[in-house]
Amino acid sequence: MASKSIQVALPDELNGFVAREVKAGRYQNEGEVICEALRRLEAETANEVRRFEKAFGGGYERAETEEDVQRVESAVRAGRKR
């Protein structure tokens, strides 16, 4: 996989977290921590899209029902609890 170097500024608390992960030996360097975090964010976003699509279940083909609204609200609440 080709890679491109970028520079980001992290708040002190995140910078400390990254340093602790490397120091603990879970990752070899800071870049690995950031890549893993981005992979997890990408997977989480894909899961949210799947849950959203499941909650609407054909919603474009018909008017939404109260049950549809409740499923979407439940999915949103579940996402916020994470």
Q: Which residue range forms the structural domain that includes residue 20?
A: 12-81
In the numeric block, the tokens 């049950």 are attached to 67
In the numeric block, the tokens 């708040």 are attached to 11
SS3 28: coil
Number of domains in the chain: 1
Q: What is the pLDDT of residues 34-79, one digit of tens each?
A: 999 999 999 999 988 888 888 877 555 667 788 888 888 888 888 7
Assigned domain for 1 exists: no
Assigned domain for 25 exists: yes
Assigned domain for 2 exists: no
C-alpha 4/C-alpha 58 separation (Å) is 40
Mark residue 40 as left, alpha or beta (left: phi above 0; alpha: psi -120 to 50; beta: remaining).
alpha
Assigned domain for 7 exists: no
Q: What is the pLDDT of residues 8-24, one digit of tens each?
A: 999 999 999 999 999 99
Assigned domain for 5 exists: no
Q: What mean pLDDT do residues 4-8 have?
A: 93
